[in-house]
Amino acid sequence: MSDQSSTSGYALLRNPRLNKGSAFSEEERRTYGLEGLLPPVPTTLSLQVARIHAELGNLDSDLQKYLLLSDLQARNETLFYAVLMSDPATFMPLVYTPTVGEACQKFDHIFRAARGIYLPITARGRLKGLLGNWPMKDIRFIVVTDGERILGLGDLGVGGMGIPIGKLSLYTACAGVPPEYCLPVTLDVGTNNESLLEDPLYLGLRQNRVRGADYMAFIDEFVQAAQVLYPKCCIQWEDFANISAVPILETYRDQVCTYNDDIQGTAAVALAGMYGALRISGQKLTDQRFLFLGGGSAATGIAELISQAMALEGLDIAAARARNALFDVNGLMVKSRTDLAGFQKPFAVNHAPISTFVEAVRALRPTGIIGVSTVPKLFNQQVIEAMAEINERPIIFPYSNPTSRSECTAEEAYRWSQGRAIFASGSPFGPVEIAGQTFVPGQGNNVYIFPAMGMAVFATEATRVTEEMFIVAAKAVAEQVTDKSLATGLIYPPQSQIFEASLHVAVRVAEYVFEKKLARVERPADIAKLIASRVYHPAYAA
């Protein structure tokens, strides 16, 4: 756009952060040269929200709704967030799991306006320059993926970009982190997904994934560039394969402000769910035994945080870890197995090998099973019935996303356990009625953690994200669950109240940040007030 047009009202209509669309007032239209560029009668933000609701209501595919919202985000950011925040329970499944999964799978075929920064490994040595092309200069959050494990959908190459975009939209919609501080990033190191490599529309590098020292050097260049350009930035690693996720976290967790959402955020939401479940069963955490289906990032992250929480309640850490057993493609992770990665070994149990999950359930008699395998339907009738035979109130958490990868549905868990399951799933399920009783399944998803963690880090300008901050966050989620919710089986705050719930968690985490002297701002007398003062509200500037 030429200089002549960039200062015009026409340019204003094309700047999503400043655009008000039909809501520009008559005075603004006169001042900015917008007269004639819009239909003549100004409207209001609330009418615009109502128009979007109605438009969405006329679409019958969730992907179409996703596209409408994503076009809106590219056109008018205030209106986009006003819509999302008007009804989070309705809009989260569209901009986040499950619909975002389909959008990532079809990314190259539905590509529209670009958002975020793409860093191809072919640009090694120039990453700071590419990252610096982003127009905002004070970035506080980068959500970054390399696209290798997108939800439970596998390697989607650059199509994974939908995830950082969706997660950061929820930083704002669920916890009020102002959008101008957020930057989605995709690292393109190639893809091993043959169908993408053969697709003429594929938008990423046409090569297999780079691994090993070259990969780690690329990651390091990215981290250093982000540090130099954005010294107050927190980097959230998202949807990397575990072979990359674990070493990256280990390398940087004590060097910079960073965390891995799949390992640590998921762990916190699972622990929160356990605290809720124990209020229903009336049991103690240290009496639980968990069996995980899957032994990757999410499983080992959850198992470790639960073990740490058990240790805080008096169990020896080794004994605590022994209460968290993992089961993967090759069966129960037992000490005699020679194929275990370093991060899996602490959870290997002293037991003879077991090759089927239902046998493992019968042998270990877990109080809860947690599905983080990416494989649907493996919590089958036999498994749920075995859990219901062993436990009065079996904990059943199929956490894999999106819905198509869920280890079971809410209906299956409740039906096969005669309504006794304490259930939560990674992607949302609607209420279920069994024998006249209505159950409300919770969404056991790190969305209860990462936006809140983001707001706490943003408001305090924290230097680090520590493991203890996730335990604090887990307790802060759990303490908000009412007895009324528990009576319906709901062990998390309702999705409709996620904004209020996230701010509560942010306050608790911020208190901890100040206590541990991890903040870069002065401790205020009233931390809740500090958080409230930092919250973004979707309203047009006067």
> Binding to ligand NDP by residue 395, rule CB under 6 A?
no
- Contact stretch for ligand NDP (CB under 6 A) within 31-39, 367-375, 429-437, 482-490: 367-375
Binding-site member from 152, 190, 451, 538 for ligand NDP (CB under 6 A)? 152
Q: What is the dihedral sign for C-alpha 61, 66, 67, 68?
A: positive
Which helix (H) or strand (E) covers residue 173, if one does? helix 162-175
- Binding partner of 172, given ligand NDP, ligand PYR, Mg ion, none, CB within 5-8 angstroms per partner class: none
Residue 148 or 261 having the CB closest to ligand PYR:
261
One symbol per residue from 260 to 289: x for binding ligand PYR (CB under 6 A), - otherwise; what is it? -xx---------------------------
- Contact stretch for ligand NDP (CB under 6 A) within 6-14, 283-291, 383-391, 441-449: 441-449
Q: Which residues bind Mg ion (CB under 5 A)?
A: 238-239, 262
Residue 145 or 191 having the CB closest to ligand PYR:
145
Determine the Cα angle at 429 with ends 423 and 430, to 5°: 105
Contacts of 169 (CB under 8 A, 6+ apart): 73, 80, 84, 95, 96, 179
- Contact stretch for ligand NDP (CB under 6 A) within 1-9, 46-54, 288-296, 451-459: 288-296
> Binding to ligand PYR by residue 239, rule CB under 6 A?
yes
Residue 348 or 518 having the CB closest to ligand NDP:
348
* Active-site residue, from 96, 202, 252, 540: 96
Say how far apart CA 430 and CA 411 lie, in whole Å: 9
Nearest distance from C-beta of residue 33 to ligand NDP, angstroms: 47
> Binding to ligand NDP by residue 242, rule CB under 6 A?
yes
> Binding to ligand PYR by residue 445, rule CB under 6 A?
yes
Say how far apart CA 168 and CA 133 lie, in whole Å: 19
Mutual angle of helices 77-86 and 162-175, in 10-degree steps: 70
Please give the residues from 99 up to 158 whose contact with ligand PYR meets the rule CB under 6 A: 151
Beta carbons of 249 and 263 less than 8 angstroms apart: yes
Contacts of 338 (CB under 8 A, 6+ apart): none
> Binding to ligand PYR by residue 401, rule CB under 6 A?
yes
Residue 9 or 265 having the CB closest to Mg ion:
265
- Token pair 């602490």 is found at 346
Residue 24 or 399 having the CB closest to ligand NDP:
399
> Binding to ligand PYR by residue 446, rule CB under 6 A?
yes
Binding-site member from 281, 297, 417, 460 for ligand NDP (CB under 6 A)? 297
| 118 bridge partner residues | 186
Residue 76 or 401 having the CB closest to ligand PYR:
401
> Binding to ligand PYR by residue 425, rule CB under 6 A?
no
* Active-site residue, from 81, 167, 181, 540: 167
Binding-site member from 54, 213, 329, 542 for ligand NDP (CB under 6 A)? 329
- Binding partner of 451, given ligand PYR, Mg ion, ligand NDP, none, CB within 5-8 angstroms per partner class: none
Binding residues with ligand PYR: total (CB under 6 A): 9
Shortest CA distance to 73 belongs to which of 89, 95, 51, 54? Answer: 95
Q: What is the dihedral sign for C-alpha 419, 421, 423, 428?
A: negative
Q: Quick check: is 167 catalytic?
A: yes
Residue 293 or 332 having the CB closest to ligand PYR:
293
One symbol per residue from 242 to 261: x for binding ligand PYR (CB under 6 A), - otherwise; what is it? -------------------x
> Binding to ligand NDP by residue 373, rule CB under 6 A?
yes
Beta carbons of 292 and 303 less than 8 angstroms apart: yes
Binding-site member from 374, 409, 480, 502 for ligand NDP (CB under 6 A)? 374
Nearest distance from C-beta of residue 239 to ligand PYR, angstroms: 5
> Binding to ligand NDP by residue 104, rule CB under 6 A?
no
> Six-digit token pair at 322?
């022994």
442-443 β-sheet, strand order = 331-332, 324-328, 290-293, 368-371, 395-398, 422-425, 442-443
Say how far apart CA 394 and CA 123 lie, in whole Å: 51
Say how far apart CA 518 and CA 512 lie, in whole Å: 9
Residue 433's SS3 state is: strand
Nearest distance from C-beta of residue 63 to Mg ion, angstroms: 20
- Dihedral in degrees, nearest 10, Cα atoms 504, 489, 383, 329: -20
- Binding partner of 374, given ligand PYR, ligand NDP, Mg ion, none, CB within 5-8 angstroms per partner class: ligand NDP
3-state secondary structure 290-354: EEEEECCHHHHHHHHHHHHHHHHCCCCHHHHHHCEEEEECCEECECCCCCCCCCCHHHCECCCCC
Residue 262 or 407 having the CB closest to Mg ion:
262
Beta carbons of 34 and 24 less than 8 angstroms apart: yes
> Binding to ligand PYR by residue 462, rule CB under 6 A?
no
- Long-range (24+ apart) CB contacts under 8 A made by 279-282 are 279/481, 279/486, 279/491, 280/393, 280/422, 280/486, 280/489, 280/491, 281/367, 281/392, 281/393, 281/395, 281/422
Shortest CA distance to 75 belongs to which of 97, 93, 55, 101? Answer: 55
Phi-psi region of 33 (alpha: psi -120 to 50; beta: other; left: phi over 0): left
- Cis-peptide into 346, omega within 30 deg: no
> Binding to ligand PYR by residue 407, rule CB under 6 A?
no
Residue 417 or 495 having the CB closest to ligand PYR:
495
What are the residue numbers of the active site?
Answer: 96, 167
| Residues contributing to the site for ligand PYR (CB under 6 A) | 97, 151, 239, 261-262, 401, 426, 445-446
Footprint of ligand NDP (CB under 6 A): 149, 151-152, 241-242, 262, 266, 269, 293-299, 327-329, 372-375, 399-401, 405, 426, 444-446
